Amino acid sequence: MDFFLCVLGMVMIIEGLPYFAVPERMKFWVSKILEMPDGWLRRFGLVLMITGLWLVYLGKR
């Protein structure tokens, strides 16, 4: 559980960094994401999940 909380904290730091460092660019990118079709976002999310799973597998191996 300690490791999970540490990883979750690191993810939150990485995710929050762009919003803190360049909020005006993040607003631009969020507006672009809102314009994208749902199917494209689903495929992108699937690729991210598979890549994350692969990285976890490599880390635990």
pLDDT in tens, 14-56: 999 999 999 999 999 999 999 999 999 999 999 999 999 999 8
> 3-state SS string over 1-61?
CHHHHHHHHHHHHHHHHHHHHCHHHHHHHHHHHHHCCHHHHHHHHHHHHHHHHHHHHHHHC
Q: pTM for this structure?
A: 0.71
Return the pLDDT at 3: 87
Domains of the chain, residue spans: 2-60
